[in-house]
C-alpha cells in the first residue's frame, strides 16, 4: 500500500523536515496553514497548501475536522501529525482511520493504552518494566494518599494523571504538607487538563532524563535505536539533547532498550515512539511515560544510527517490514542538538516575536540545521517559539561540543532575541563538559551566573546595572546605525559571561 500523497498537519521546522522526506520518496505533499503562517516556509515548500483558519491553534492546527476535510479535498492518503498539536490525540488518529486516511503514527488503541500516565503505568506493570514506585490509579481520598505515601516513604511527588510538562506536579516532603499539596495539585490539574486526577510517585533525587527511541512495524518487529540524554532543561522545556548519553554504558543501554521494546509490544504499538525514563545516580532506571509521536530531538538519533526516522515512519505506515533487526543497529559518534528559541534569556526568557531582519546560518563539517525560518519572516506569537534546531555530529562528545561552539559562532539571528548565547554558556561550562548533568543542572547554572532576574532573586544593584545597560544599548544602537548593522547586542551580558568562561578554561 504505497502512500502517494501526505498531508502534513503541522508547521515550522518539523513540517519542513517531513516535506523533505516526502520529496526524497517521490510522495506529493500537502501543507496546511493558519493566517499567521501564510508566508511561512512550509507553505512555500509544499506541492499544495490550504488555509485552515485564523491564527490561534484552536482555530487552525488543532481543528481535526478541517484537516480531514483538506485531506479529502486534496486526495491525500495519509496524514503526518509531526509533534505537538494533534500528534498524540487518539480521537484524531481514530477519525483518520475511520475516514480511510492513514495516520502516520500508532493506532488510536495503542495511544490510549499509553495516553494517561496512570494507564501507562498499568501497561508498564503488565510488561514488567521498572517504574517509579507509587500508585497506578487516581487517588480517591486524602486517606488513600496518606496510606500510599507512608508505604513508599517521603519525599513523594504528586502528579496529574493527564499531565505532562510538569504541570500539576508537586513535591511533598512530609505528611503535614500532603493535604494542601493534594488540593493544589488537583485544582491545577483540573484547570490545565480538565481532569483533577492525581496520583503518587516516590520522588527521585536529582534524576537524569534519558529516553529510548523505538520503531515498531505492523508485523510484530520492534527495535530500539539507543537513548537520548535530555537532562538539560529549563522549566520542563528541553534546551539541549544528545545521543548517546555519556552516563549510559552498553549494559544499561540494552536493559533500557529491551524494557522499551517490551512496553511497545504490550501496548500493540506501531511506528516511532519514545519511552521516557528517570535514571538515578546509581543507574537505576524508572519508566516515566511514553511519547507516541516523532520527537523534536529525533535528529540526534538519526545522526548516530545513520537512519532516517521519517522515511521509516512512512515505510511502517505503508505496511512494510522493518528493513533491519536489532543486531544491525550500531551507534557511531556523538550528536548534540541546540533548540534555538525566540526568547530572551536576559529578560526572564520572555518570548521575543517579531521580524527576522538578518539570518546567517551555520554549515560545514558535521553540522545539520533543521530550520523553519528565513530572513524577512516575522515570528508569530501564537505558537511554540522554536525557530530552528542546530545539530552537531562528530566522532566523540568533546569534538561534537567544539563543533557546536564553532557553528554557534557562525550563526546569527538579527531583529529578535534568541537563546543562542545561552548555548555558549552551557557548552563552555565545566559541569556540562564533564557530563555532570541532571534535571536540575541548568537552573543551578543560571542561578550561579547571577543573570537570573527572577522575582525575589534580584541583584540589589539591579537599577544601577539597568541604567548603565540602557546607556550602553543606546550607544551601541547608534554605532550599529553608522555601521549599517541591525544587531543591537554586540556585547550582551550573556556573551560577556561566555567570554569570561572561555578565559577560565
CB of 443 to ligand MV4, least distance (A): 8
CB atoms within 10 A of CB 221: 17
C-alpha cell at 41: 516556509
Those residues whose C-beta lies under 8 Å from the C-beta of residue 307, and which sit 6 or more positions away, are: 225, 301, 329
In whole angstroms, the minimum distance from the beta carbon of 341 to ligand MV4 comes to 17
C-alpha to C-alpha distance for 167 and 159, rounded to whole angstroms: 8
At its nearest, how many Å lie between ligand MV4 and the CB of residue 390? 21
The answer to the question of residue 170 lying near ligand MV4 (CB under 6 A) is no
Tell the smallest beta-carbon distance from residue 181 to ligand MV4 (Å). Answer: 14
Least gap, CB of 76 to ligand MV4 (angstroms): 33
In the complex with ligand MV4, the residue whose CB is nearer, 55 or 233, is: 233
Cα–Cα distance between 296 and 107 in angstroms, integer?
21
Alpha-carbon gap, residue 291 to 267, rounded angstroms: 13
Nearer to ligand MV4, 55 or 301 (CB): 301
C-alpha cell at 150: 507512608
166 binds ligand MV4 (CB under 6 A): yes
| Total site size for ligand MV4, rule CB under 6 A | 15
Sequence-ordered list of residues with C-beta below 8 angstroms from that of 354, at least 6 positions apart, any chain: 342, 378, 379, 415, 416
Residues 263-282 as x/- pattern, contact with ligand MV4 by CB under 6 A: ---------------x----
Task: Give the count of beta carbons closer than 10 Å to the beta carbon of residue 142.
Answer: 12
Which of the stretches 41-49, 78-86, 200-208, 303-311 binds ligand MV4 when contact is defined by CB under 6 A?
200-208
Using left for φ > 0, alpha for ψ between -120 and 50, and beta otherwise, residue 226 falls in left
CB atoms within 10 A of CB 234: 17
Q: Cβ neighbours of residue 92 under 8 Å, at least 6 residues apart?
A: 64, 81, 86, 103
- Examine residue 157 and tell whether it contacts ligand MV4 (CB under 6 A): yes
Least distance from C-beta 296 to ligand MV4, angstroms?
14
Contact segment (CB under 6 A) with ligand MV4 among 17-25, 29-37, 195-203, 404-412 equals 195-203
Write phi, then psi, for 55 (nearest 5 degrees): -60, -40
Q: Rounded to 10 degrees, what is the CA torsion of 237, 232, 386, 117? A: -40
Question: Which residue from 37, 188, 201, 302 is in contact with ligand MV4, where contact means CB under 6 A?
Answer: 201
Of residues 207-236, those binding ligand MV4 (CB under 6 A): 207, 209, 233, 236
Contact call for residue 131 and ligand MV4 (CB under 6 A): no
Choice between 157 and 386, CB closer to ligand MV4: 157
439 near ligand MV4, rule: CB under 6 A: yes
Which is closer to ligand MV4, CB of 68 or CB of 138?
138
Query: Which regions of 54-136 does DSSP assign to beta strands (E)?
Result: 78-80, 102-103
Of 350, 361, 414, 416, the C-alpha closest to 390 is 361
Choose, from 63, 293, 397, 403, the residue flagged as catalytic: 293
Q: Does 203 bind ligand MV4 (CB under 6 A)?
A: yes
List the one residue from 204, 243, 294, 422 that touches ligand MV4 (CB under 6 A). Answer: 204
499 catalytically annotated? no
Task: List residues with catalytic annotation.
Answer: 293
- Which residues of this protein are in contact with ligand MV4, per CB under 6 A? 132, 157, 166, 169, 201-204, 207, 209, 233, 236, 278, 288, 439
Amino acid at each position: 500500500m504505497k502512500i502517494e500523497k501526505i498531508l502534513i498537519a503541522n508547521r515550522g521546522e518539523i513540517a519542513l523536515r517531513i516535506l523533505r522526506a516526502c520529496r526524497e520518496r517521490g510522495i506529493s505533499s500537502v501543507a496546511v496553514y493558519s493566517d499567521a503562517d501564510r508566508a511561512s516556509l512550509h507553505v512555500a515548500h509544499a506541492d499544495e497548501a490550504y488555509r485552515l483558519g485564523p491564527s490561534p491553534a484552536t482555530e487552525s492546527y488543532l481543528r481535526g475536522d478541517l484537516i480531514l476535510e483538506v485531506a479529502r479535498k486534496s486526495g491525500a492518503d495519509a496524514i503526518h501529525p509531526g509533534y505537538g498539536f494533534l500528534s498524540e490525540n487518539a480521537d484524531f488518529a481514530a477519525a483518520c482511520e475511520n475516514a480511510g486516511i492513514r495516520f502516520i503514527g500508532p493506532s488510536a488503541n495503542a495511544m490510549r493504552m499509553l495516553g494517561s500516565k496512570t494507564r501507562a503505568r498499568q501497561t508498564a506493570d503488565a510488561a514488567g518494566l521498572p517504574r517509579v514506585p507509587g500508585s497506578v490509579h487516581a487517588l480517591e481520598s486524602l486517606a488513600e494518599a496518606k496510606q500510599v505515601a507512608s508505604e513508599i516513604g517521603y519525599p513523594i511527588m504528586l502528579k496529574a494523571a493527564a499531565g505532562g510538562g510538569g504541570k500539576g506536579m508537586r513535591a511533598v516532603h512530609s505528611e503535614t504538607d500532603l493535604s494542601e499539596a493534594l488540593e493544589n495539585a488537583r485544582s491545577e490539574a483540573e484547570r490545565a487538563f480538565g481532569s483533577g486526577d492525581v496520583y503518587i510517585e516516590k520522588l527521585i533525587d536529582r534524576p537524569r532524563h534519558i529516553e529510548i527511541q523505538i520503531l515498531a512495524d505492523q508485523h510484530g518487529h520492534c527495535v530500539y535505536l539507543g537513548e537520548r540524554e535530555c537532562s538539560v532543561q529549563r522549566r520542563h522545556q528541553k534546551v539541549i539533547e544528545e545521543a548517546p548519553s555519556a552516563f549510559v554504558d552498553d549494559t544499561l543501554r540494552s536493559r533500557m532498550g529491551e524494557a522499551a521494546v517490551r512496553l511497545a509490544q504490550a501496548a500493540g504499538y506501531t511506528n516511532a515512539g519514545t519511552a521516557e525514563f528517570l535514571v538515578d545516580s546509581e543507574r537505576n532506571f524508572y519508566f516515566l511515560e511514553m511519547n507516541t509521536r516523532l520527537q523534536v530531538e529525533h535528529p540526534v538519533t538519526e545522526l548516530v544510527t545513520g537512519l532516517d526516522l521519517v522515511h521509516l515512519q512512512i515505510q511502517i505506515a505503508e505496511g512494510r517490514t522493518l528493513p533491519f533487526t536489532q543486531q544491525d543497529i550500531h551507534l557511531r559518534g556523538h550528536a548534540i542538538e541546540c533548540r534555538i528559541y525566540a526568547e530572551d534569556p536576559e529578560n526572564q526568557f520572555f518570548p521575543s516575536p517579531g521580524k527576522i531582519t538578518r539570518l546567517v546560518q551555520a554549515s560545514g563539517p558535521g553540522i545539520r540545521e533543521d530550520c523553519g525560518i528565513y530572513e524577512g519572516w516575522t515570528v508569530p506569537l501564537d505558537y511554540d517559539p522554536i525557530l530552528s534546531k542546530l545539530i552537531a555530529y562528530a566522532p566523540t562528545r568533546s569534538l561534537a561540543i567544539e563543533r557546536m561552539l564553532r557553528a554557534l559562532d557562525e550563526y546569527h539571528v538579527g531583529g529578535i532575541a534568541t537563546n543562542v548565547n545561552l548555548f555558549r554558556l552551557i557548552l563552555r561550562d565545566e559541569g556540562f563538559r564533564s557530563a555532570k548533568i541532571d534535571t536540575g543542572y541548568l537552573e543551578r547554572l543560571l542561578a550561579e551566573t547571577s543573570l537570573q532576574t527572577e522575582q525575589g532573586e534580584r541583584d540589589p544593584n539591579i537599577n544601577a546595572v539597568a541604567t548603565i545597560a540602557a546607556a550602553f544599548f543606546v550607544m551601541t544602537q547608534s554605532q550599529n546605525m553608522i555601521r549599517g548593522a541591525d544587531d543591537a547586542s554586540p556585547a550582551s551580558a550573556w556573551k560577556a559571561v561566555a567570554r569570561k568562561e572561555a578565559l577560565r578554561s
